[in-house]
Every structure is written in structure tokens, then in C-alpha cells.
Amino acid sequence: MSTKLSRRQEEILEFVASFKEENDYSPSLREIAEAFELSSVATVHQHVSALEKKGYFNKGWNVGRSIELTPIAIEKLQRMKAPPSNVVPLERKQAWAAADTSGDSVALPLLGLIAAGSPIEALENKESIVVPSDMVGRRETYVLKVRGNSMIGDGILDGDYVVVEKRDHARNGETVVALINNHEVTLKRFYIEAEGVRLQPANPAIAPIFIANGDFAIQGVMIGLLRKLRH
């Protein structure tokens, strides 16, 4: 049998790997279905069975949460995560959060501006932003300043600061830092659809962005919001 995966199978492989990394156990079929907004667990079972037959999963018979990644799956994930050679990583080559997180606050790097309207190029900035320590993610965390009003329905205003956990995957409905055309970033809600990816604004006056090809990557997921009150 061919080991080539469909797009949905690749997405499920990535989801299972990230879920196991975050939770130290495998997702159930129901959790996979909910993550992809699938009404039928049977559909998920078909994809998981196909991944098992192609050598990417080992799964205990009639046992829940028993999906294990095989060496072939790990190798495949590493290839999938490798960035294109012409993509400049959003992060700077420096320490991320302050080493001392024992206090009530942590200094995170402010990497620049991100559009909450139409995509713009991220701007590097040498400043740092102090945030509450409980706002720091379990992974590398950084801050971006919002420009635009396309996310006002979610309470994200022009001039706000969003705290972002660096990740290359997200669940449907999460607000992500999306890299488009290998050099522009935007802040939108993320949804996987049959024809590709939808980046949804939270402003009825602004149209969503639909992406049907490979010119897209997730660079982080929003986990916090900061606002400077003006008097």
C-alpha cells in the first residue's frame, strides 16, 4: 500500500502529534472529530485506520486513546514542519522570555506589528513587553502590536498587544498569527474547510481570507491580550 497521505490525513497526523505533546496521551476519536468539526466519528475512524494501514499509527485493538506514532510518522512530521528555504522565521535569534519567571511578571520580546485588517509584513522591534507570568505559554512566547480593526468583534482593538505562543498548528476557531505568501502575517480566526483554510475576521465589514494552496503557515496562537488605557 502507498504511504502517501491525503491532506486530511496529514492534518489528523499533525493534530494527534500535537495533542500527545501537549497532553501526554492520545486524543480519542471523538476529540479528533470535534477538532475538525466532523459530525461522524466513523469518518475519523476511516482516516485513522488508513493511517494505521499506511504505517503511521500503531493502535491497540478496541482500546481508547491508544494511537501511537511510528518512526515513519515522526519522520513525516519532521519533513512537514521544515520551513521553505525563502521564509524568514518570525522570531528573532535571542532569548525569548526572561529567565527568572519566579515573580509576578515576565519580559517578552515585542516583535513588531501585525495586521488585524489586511495582511502586512511583520516588523522587527527591539523592545520588550512585561506581562503577568501566568500569561506566558508553555512554549516560546512573544508579543505583537495590533494594527487595524478586523478583530474588534473579539474585543481586539487597534493598538492592543497580543501575547502569542509559538506553534505551527491550531484548532478550529483559535486566533492565529498566519503567514501568507511566505512574507506577510495577519491575525485571524483559523478554520479548516473542505477547499482549504479560512482566515476569519471578527468584523462583518471585512471579508474572510480563503487559502486553497500551500502558501500558508501558522506561526503562533494568541493566548493573551494587553491594552494600554488612555486617559
Clarify whether 93 is annotated catalytic. no
Of 17, 46, 81, the last residue of a domain is 81
Clarify whether 150 is annotated catalytic. yes
Most distant CA pair in the chain, distance: 66
The pLDDT of residue 56: 92
Residue 227 burial (CB count, 10 A): 12
Q: Which residues pair with 73 in a beta bridge?
A: none
Catalytic residue selected from 53, 150, 166, 228: 150
Closest to 15 (Cα-Cα) out of 64, 89, 73? 73
Entry pTM: 0.54
The pLDDT of residue 102: 46
* Whether residue 133 sits in one domain with residue 29: no
Query: How many structural domains are present in the chain?
Result: 2
* Whether residue 119 sits in one domain with residue 77: no
- Specify the CATH number for the domain of residue 27: 1.10.10.10
Tell me the residue range of the domain where 20 lies.
7-81
Q: How far apart are CA 55 and CA 175, in angstroms?
A: 33
Catalytic residue selected from 54, 76, 166, 188: 188
What are the tens digits of pLDDT across the range 87-121?
333 333 333 444 344 457 888 888 877 876 655 54
What are the tens digits of pLDDT across the range 128-179?
888 888 788 778 888 888 888 888 888 888 888 899 998 888 989 999 998 8
* Whether residue 182 sits in one domain with residue 222: yes
